[in-house]
Amino acid sequence: MLVLIDNANLKEIEALYNDYPYDGVTTNPSILMKEHKNPFKVLKDIRSFLPDDSMLHAQVVSETTEKMVEEAHFMLHEIRDDLFIKVPVTTDGLRAIHILKQEGVNVTATAIYTAMQAFMAAKAGARYTAPYVNRLDNMGADGVQVAKDIHDMFRVHNMEADVLAASFKNSQQILNLCKHGIGSVTAAPDVLRALTYHDATFTAEENFTHDFYSLLNEVEGTHLK
């Protein structure tokens, strides 16, 4: 399972990559707005920092098919030609996904709230589909189950598409998807850090260190006698 960072703050991304070799970064207009900087400059800086084999996903904001495709071309030219273009699964978005796929562009279908939206996006040519797990939970649905359903549908129909599950409240949601074989997830920094952090681990480390140096002091004290 690929694990990506859902964030646009370069310092935060650098800090996370210093701790662990993540698989890339996802952004959206709302995330970029939090940086209060030129969004294309932010995306360029992130892409420059990321290893060559890491992915970067960025979203179009236009509402018509023609403008979405035009915007995608601009982003690919300005940032890098292997950028994953995020396109919402509106009627115009699905048409844009199909056009971009025919051009060989990497596309991530986003703003997905039902399994069939993801299925139709994959048929149109999306490489990744991004269901909003926690947002679905907040709407009274089961976000984890929706992501699982999408994954199963892709495998049953032998589709060249994967789930890129997004919008997480906690690490347990990611664990449930990981156990099911979901292809990829993207999460905020606090959720990502929770994937590996456990108080008991640090307590054990402290105990091991304490015991080791206590033993050294004991051995050195014996030698001095």
- Active-site positions? 86
What is the distance between the alpha carbons of residues 176 and 18, in angstroms, rounded to a whole number?
Answer: 26
- Closest alpha carbon to 109 in 33, 63, 163: 163
Q: How far is CA 113 from CA 1, 31, 62, 126, 215, in A?
A: 21, 19, 20, 16, 58
Q: CA dihedral in degrees (55, 87, 164, 192; nearest 10)? A: 70
- Closest alpha carbon to 88 in 62, 66, 67: 62
Sequence length of the chain is 225
What is the distance between the alpha carbons of residues 204 and 185, in angstroms, rounded to a whole number?
Answer: 30
How far is residue 86 CA from its own chain's centroid?
Answer: 12
Query: What are the b/e assignments for 52-68, b being 16+ CB within 10 Å?
Result: eebbbbbbbebeebeeb
Encoded tokens for 33: 């707005």
- DSSP-assigned letter for residue 83: P
